[in-house]
Amino acid sequence: MKNNTLTDDTLKILIIGANGFLGTNLLRFKEEYETSENQFHFVTADISNSNINPKMPFYHIDITNADDAVKKIINISPDITLLTAAMTDVDECEVNKELAKKINTEGPQNVIKACQTADSKLIFMSTDFVFDGTKKEGLYNETDTPNPLSFYAKTKYDAELAIINSNLDYLICRTAVLYGWNKSKLNFITWILKKLELDEPISIVTTQINSPTFVKNLAEIILKLIEKEATGIYHTAGDGAINRYEMAIHCADVFNLNKSLISPLASLKQQAVRPKNAGLDISKLKTLLGSELKVYSLDDGLQYMKTHSI
């Protein structure tokens, strides 16, 4: 760890994208992760801080603004830079390719430069969509070769490659279908719940399989990986792979909503092509976590949501 004003036990972690869904969850449950041995000092950055407690140290950093972003990150001098910022609307990335490349590939390249000068470890959030979904048997593990289908997936994979080919100490976490309560934006699960509560019929595809990931659990997992000084690539997704239609049925079951409103759909026309079976194998993660932390299945996450309002 580098010598800064914090005590030797305290890691200075800069979260870029802290105002987003994962970022706010990393901040929200901070106290739960801290022990006497592990103290995390979070510094936040994003384009806006509307969801961030004003008491948190915040920097306006646009990762596409190379000079300004690099200068600010070097000045902050983090031990760890956790990059959650991205253009995450997969269909919008297909339409606005120039912007997607700027944010999702060139942005991380700027962050790499800053981390090299600041001697900071880089943790990057990536996606199950780096795979093409055609694997015949089993789920995708970390040694499988990516083959992105959509432009979003290509920009994220290009960022992965830039990180892997840098000389940085890095951790790449591939995750999938984040869900949980979120005041700012609906996610797949909260959208399903909203529709069913409004008694509106919905048609959901049976042909897209993913590993839905409870955002609070992902935040805990990332901090545990930091504590364990994990490096390389990890699949950090929920436990189990399930198709979108089945996900919706689980929502109805757990929340006692009317599942007859949900119809199966064989295909859905979307701007960006999705992989058919992008379920992630999380054995490597489970081995590292041992009995210290449970990886949530979809039902675990839904049960948590049912009994908690955040």
123 lies in the site for ligand NAP, by CB under 6 A: no
Count residues near ligand NAP (CB under 6 A).
28
CA distances from 9 to 121, 170, 203, 220 (A): 16, 20, 51, 19
Neighbouring C-beta atoms of residue 157, cutoff 10 Å: 20
CA distances from 276 to 124, 213, 243 (A): 24, 17, 9
88 lies in the site for ligand NAP, by CB under 6 A: yes
Tokens found for residue 26: 């990393």
Closer Cβ to ligand NAP, 17 or 133, answer by number:
17
| Least distance between ligand NAP and beta carbon 237 (Å) | 8
Binding mask 172-191 for ligand NAP (x = CB under 6 A): ---xxxx-------------
106 lies in the site for ligand NAP, by CB under 6 A: no
* Cβ–Cβ under 8 Å, residues 225 and 171: yes
Closer Cβ to ligand NAP, 178 or 196, answer by number:
178
| Sole binder of ligand NAP in the list 47, 66, 254, 288 (CB under 6 A) | 47
Tokens found for residue 304: 């948590």
Whole-number Å distance between alpha carbons of 79 and 8: 11
- List own/partner pairs for 305-308 with CB under 8 A and 24 or more apart: 305/180, 305/181, 305/189, 306/254, 306/255, 308/181
238 lies in the site for ligand NAP, by CB under 6 A: no
| Least distance between ligand NAP and beta carbon 241 (Å) | 14
H helix or E strand, kind and range, residue 293? none
| Sole binder of ligand NAP in the list 44, 77, 84, 150 (CB under 6 A) | 84
Residues lying near ligand NAP in the complex (CB under 6 A) = 16-17, 19-23, 46-48, 61-64, 84-88, 103, 107, 125, 127, 156, 175-178
